[in-house]
Amino acid sequence: MSKFFWSSLIRWLLQCVLVVATIVVLQPVCLAENLKPNGSSVSHSTDTVLDDADCSLREESWSDSLQKLWESICTQGPSTARFDESIMDDVPGDFIVTILSKPKYNRHIKATGLTLKNMRVTGQVLIPSGKIPGNLSFSHLKFEGPVTLDKVTVEGSISFTDSSFQNINLGGARIKGFLSLKGSDALQLNGIELKVDRSLLITNQSDTNETGKNQTSQNETDQNKKKENITFKTIWLDDLKTQNLTITNVDADILHASGAKVDGTLELTGSNLNDVVFSESTIDDVLFGRNYIKGSIDLSYAHVNHTLELTETTFHEIFAPGLKVDDSLKFRVSDRQAYMPVEETLSPCPAVEPVNEYLRKMQLWNATTGSKRGPEPEPPVQMDLRDARIHIIETPPYVSMWPPVLYMHGMNFDALRLDYRRTARKGIPDSLDRAWYSCWLQSISAPRFDEQPYKLLTTYLLIRGRLR
């Protein structure tokens, strides 16, 4: 054959190869263009686009209903995956364990997290140590067995809302976002050596964000105020590390957080507890508000970087030897507590007649209206502040704030201030209020430690048999 024939054949074959290659390269592009609505350009985040293979994953042990549940969770992505109760009443704990522990599900969890709602989880949920790459959100779940995520690292946040547990174990886990238990009850919460990079929130309110701020309308807020406290048998948070710790409206036998490190604020409010333990803890700011502590508050050898405030908190005992407060230890009182006869007013300064008259009126008001305001708070029994180091003690001018037994051996503080702000609002003129306050400041102010306020306080309490 001629050379012309062979050259023509080779050129033809090369053209065929080029055409086939062009089709192979352009076909996915054309297919993608055909999938765009109205030919418009549509962009998706690589974090939320999942391969169909993710939603068709299955396990040999799964029933058809579990397979449908996984497909629903997967296809709905970050939206609520609500299963059909007519198809399936119970979800085995192993189903959740499988999704959270097997690597093949990681891409879905990283992209959209895992959201489950309205389920009764049978059996235990035991997650082996490892990493969970996204957020977990559980709402209206009843866990009939223990839930264990100890020594697990969660790259996102965990939220339990209106759920119930027997025991939940987060010991040694690390949560890089928030951890919130909102409207959720448990017999025992184990958070020993738990690390939460953002904040830990435990509250009876199911409509608050992780920082504890309510996000509802006023009507919803009024309804939520009537919600009962959530109940725990015990809460163990020893050696906890977190930015902020908020516990609101909780009933528990014991809250034990010895050795905790809270870089921001510890807020414990509206709770009924037998005992509260934060011994040897380091906390930036502490607020105890409107609590009823049947037993003791243990702050022994704790270090508060700024302010420790007890507002309208009833307690049997404060056990705080070696406590260190760099700024102020503040006592705040309710209207029912803000009353003492003038002869019991803790002040070395001369009382003036308008103040005496005011206190007489308060005494009469208390006698005639006290029954309508409910029983008076039980007074504290004992306070142990031996070897404590406190910059400023700030208290209302009522000896009722001090317990009958007060241990102060080796205690050191720089200033004792009487807070007349509540009494000023009740009718004492500002000028008289400033005069009393100025008298106190003049008696205790000094560039270095002044023993005078300590002597004044101890002498006053010794005379009344309130100091040992």
Q: Angle at which helices 353-369 and 430-444 pack, to 10 degrees?
A: 110
CA distance 29 to 27: 5
Predicted confidence pLDDT, tens digits, the chain (468 residues): 565 666 666 666 666 656 555 554 444 444 333 333 333 332 223 344 445 677 888 899 999 888 988 888 888 754 444 444 444 458 999 999 999 999 999 998 999 899 998 889 999 999 988 999 999 999 989 999 999 999 999 999 999 999 999 999 999 999 999 999 999 999 999 999 999 999 999 999 876 555 444 444 444 444 444 568 999 999 999 999 999 999 999 999 999 999 999 999 999 999 999 999 999 999 999 999 999 899 999 999 999 999 999 988 888 899 999 999 999 999 886 654 544 444 445 555 665 555 555 545 544 444 444 433 333 445 567 889 999 999 988 887 666 667 777 888 888 888 777 776 655 445 544 444 556 656 656 665 555 556 666 777 777 777 766 666
CA distance 85 to 31: 39
Element (H, E) at 198: strand 195-203
Residue 434, pLDDT score = 57
Residue 314, pLDDT score = 83
Residue 37, pLDDT score = 35
User: 40-69: buried (b, 16+ CB within 10 Å) or exposed (e) per residue?
Assistant: eeeeeeeeeeeeeebbebeeeebeeebeeb
CB neighbours of 75 closer than 8 A, spacing ≥ 6?
55
Cβ contact 373:365 at 8 Å: no
Name the pTM for this structure: 0.77
Q: If 0-12 CB within 10 Å is exposed, 13-18 middle and 19+ buried, where does residue 303 land?
A: middle
Residue with tokens 């919130």: 180
Eight-state DSSP code of residue 228 = P
Phi (first) and psi of residue 96, to 5 degrees: -70, -40
Cβ contact 90:63 at 8 Å: no
CB neighbours of 448 closer than 8 A, spacing ≥ 6?
none
> Token pair for residue 135?
């957020």
List the Cα angle 249/250/252 in 5-degree steps.
155
Residue 36, pLDDT score = 37
